[in-house]
Structure 1
Amino acid sequence: MNQVDYLRISLIDRCNFSCQYCMPEGAELDYILQQDLLTNAELLTLIKEVFIPVGFTRFRLTGGEPLLRRGVVELVEQIASFPQTKDLSMTTNGFLLAPLAQNLYDAGLKRINISLDSLDADIFNQVIGNKGLTSRLKWESVWNGIQTAHDVGFDPLKLNVVVIPGVNDHEILDLAALTIDKQWHVRFIEFMPIGNGDLFQGKGWISSAELRQQIRTKWGLTESQVCGAGPADIFRIPGAKGTLGFISQMSDCFCDRCNRIRLAADGWLRPCLLNETGQIDLKTALRSGVSTTKLQGQIQELLTVKSEINFKQRESGTTTGNYSRTMSQIGG
């Protein structure tokens, strides 16, 4: 089991997209009221006085869409300023990124993941499920955010692709080709049944092994020397500048190398994406005067049983079940 030193922090549960795999149509979403969100001050207190003292040094800002959070640039700057912060990154849909990219980079954000589920504007619009703006305008805004992030200097720049059968699976080779001439890292993610059971049962999922075979047949594929502690298995098209990552949570259990826990926007700390066992309500504890020292102890205790919690869902065979919470509510 890896050392758990990586905290995914959801800044907000709202989003300007309604992606099929994250906020599916028809899902009942009870958005967190403003007063129930962790404030910036509370979040910084938890990071500095609770998480860092128990060994957390790597932080990722997620959502919902984190760029909707008021004061997000200042928040990045404050987290980056802690001397113990070894890594600070963000996952975003990229729609609001272009005008903020330079400020975020200057504030201390150096790594960024951007969702790009299609290179076709109409298919992209089908995935994100939004109405109002035209398909082309939404896709171009995201593409502009990607290009701007690249120009600003974000490295690595990762593009996340959730592969949905019958929707975008025919674009695998086109998306993989983005890694050939640019030092971009495309990560294919198996479609998961989280809050989208009806859609999932209708479409199912495509394994990473099948995706790799498609790419291998076209160009060849080698395991990359670039690797990390995350869930992706890394490969490279021979001669490509970037890499391909495959996140295989449906076909291959990677619980044994999970090094992260998740803090939701309302202050609930969850040890596992697929299991709420052991979750801690840090916001209520903090607001009711529980000492940060006591909270440190609670988190340390949770970390000692995280491995068991991770595997419990796998061993019970419920990983293909229908979870009532959507991905946006969990925090990515």
Structure 2
Amino acid sequence: MPTIDYLRISLIDRCNFQCTYCMPEGIDLQYVQQQDWLTRGELRRLLTEIFMPLGFSRFRLTGGEPLLRSDVVDIVRDIAHLPNTQDLAITTNAFLLSNLAQDLWDAGLRRINISLDSLDPAVFQQIVGGRGRSRWPEVWAGIQAAHRVGFSPLKLNVVVIPGVNDHEVLDLAALTLDRRWHVRFIEFMPIGNDDLFKDRGWVDSETLRQRIRQRWGLTEGQVQGNGPADVFQIPGALGTVGFISQMSECFCDRCNRMRLSADGWLRPCLLNETGQIDLKTPLRQGKSLADLRVQVAELLGAKPDINYKMRESGVTGAYSRTMSQIGG
């Protein structure tokens, strides 16, 4: 079993996009009130007094959209400068990134993942929702800003939806040819999007790899990261292409992560809440963090069994919670 040392921290459960695969229209979202978010100070205490003593050293800030937190730069600075932090990254839709990229870099952030599901502004708008002009130019500007500042690796995440953006796979893969960018194709999965998933289905990673092989060929690749992507490289390309295959090639037995929601719930799995722990309430009640640390340690001890059960069952059925509520 892998060492469990990677914590994904959701800073906020809301987003300025409403992507069809994450927050489909018609779903009744119950947002956490701002006063119920873990504060900057609470996050720092949890990291220094619970997670780091238990061996956690790798962290990713997620949402919703983490750049909507007004104190996101301060949170990055706090975590980046903790003595036991070995790796810190953030996942964003990049809509607000062009104005924040330099500040995030100066605060100590070096790695960034950006959602970019289409190079076509019209298709992009179809996916991210909202009326009016496409938001694609702002996202592209955010990507360019991250590139200029020097974030490396700079990863672009693409959720592949049949009949919507799967025809763009080669165009997206071509971004890696002359840029040190890393495009990761993610299999569409049923989390809070029952109707769309039933209507569209999903494309398996091997099908996407075959398309790229037929155009350019593929060799094994390598890129820094803590996630489950299988990484390849187009011969001669500066960047890489990765495939996250949670539907066709279950990687639960390799999972090394825990998830902390914006309102302070620690979960062992994206799709399994077995043993989840409310950390915020006892923290605010002044309870002993030593006792909380024991509870977290027990959950870590149970995670290998949870991983095994998820590996055996696979990703089946549909899930009522959306990715923004779970903490992607």
For the aligned pair, the TM-score class normalised by the smaller chain equals over 0.9
Shift of 1:292: 1.3
| Structure-1 residue corresponding to 2:217 | 220
Shift of 1:226: 4.1
| Structure-2 residue corresponding to 1:246 | 243
Deviates more, 1:147-156 or 1:38-47: 38-47
Return the alpha-carbon distance in structure 1 between the equivalents of residues 137 and 102 of structure 2: 19
User: What one-letter code is carried by the residue in structure 2 that aligns with 1:4?
Assistant: I
Is 1:324 the counterpart of 2:299? The answer is: no
Any conservation in 1 of the 2:153–2:224 contact (CA below 8 Å)? no
Any conservation in 1 of the 2:153–2:223 contact (CA below 8 Å)? no
| Structure-1 residue corresponding to 2:168 | 171
Q: Deviations over 1:190-215 (max 9, x none)?
A: 00100001110111100000000000
SS state of the match for residue 97, structure 2?
coil
Any conservation in 2 of the 1:98–1:149 contact (CA below 8 Å)? yes
Q: Deviations over 1:77-126 (max 9, x none)?
A: 11111010111110000000000000000100100000000000000000
Return the alpha-carbon distance in structure 2 between the equivalents of residues 196 and 226 of structure 1: 31
| Structure-2 residue corresponding to 1:144 | 141
Shift of 1:251: 0.4
Provide structure 2 residue ranges, at least 5 long, that are not aligned to the other structure: none
| Structure-2 residue corresponding to 1:76 | 76
Any conservation in 2 of the 1:227–1:234 contact (CA below 8 Å)? no
User: What one-letter code is carried by the residue in structure 1 that aligns with 2:305?
Assistant: E
Q: Deviations over 1:160-215 (max 9, x none)?
A: 00000000000000000000000000000000100001110111100000000000
User: What one-letter code is carried by the residue in structure 1 that aligns with 2:115?
Assistant: S
Return the alpha-carbon distance in structure 1 between the equivalents of residues 176 and 12 of structure 2: 31
Shift of 1:311: 3.0
Q: 1:324 to 1:157 in 2, by over 3 A?
A: same
User: What one-letter code is carried by the residue in structure 1 that aligns with 2:318?
Assistant: N
Return the alpha-carbon distance in structure 2 between the equivalents of residues 28 and 261 of structure 1: 26
Shift of 1:294: 1.1
Return the alpha-carbon distance in structure 1 between the equivalents of residues 226 and 143 of structure 2: 24
The equivalences for 1:262-281 within 5 A come to: 262-281=259-278
The equivalences for 1:166-315 within 5 A come to: 166-226=163-223, 228-315=225-312
Return the alpha-carbon distance in structure 1 between the equivalents of residues 33 and 193 of structure 2: 23
Is 1:18 the counterpart of 2:18? The answer is: yes
| Structure-2 residue corresponding to 1:106 | 106
SS state of the match for residue 98, structure 1?
helix
Any conservation in 1 of the 2:251–2:311 contact (CA below 8 Å)? no
Give the TM-score taking structure 2 as reference length: 0.98
| Structure-2 residue corresponding to 1:30 | 30
Shift of 1:71: 1.0
Return the alpha-carbon distance in structure 1 between the equivalents of residues 159 and 39 of structure 2: 31
User: What one-letter code is carried by the residue in structure 2 that aligns with 1:7?
Assistant: L
Give the TM-score taking structure 1 as reference length: 0.97
| Structure-2 residue corresponding to 1:90 | 90
Return the alpha-carbon distance in structure 2 between the equivalents of residues 89 and 225 of structure 1: 17
SS state of the match for residue 202, structure 1?
helix
Provide structure 1 residue ranges, at least 5 long, that are not aligned to the other structure: none
SS state of the match for residue 312, structure 1?
helix
Shift of 1:229: 4.2
Any conservation in 2 of the 1:230–1:257 contact (CA below 8 Å)? no
SS state of the match for residue 305, structure 1?
helix
- The percent of aligned pairs where both chains have the same amino acid is 70
Q: 1:95 to 1:228 in 2, by over 3 A?
A: closer
| Structure-1 residue corresponding to 2:62 | 62
Q: Deviations over 1:27-70 (max 9, x none)?
A: 11000011211111111110111111100001100000000012
Deviates more, 1:152-161 or 1:35-44: 35-44
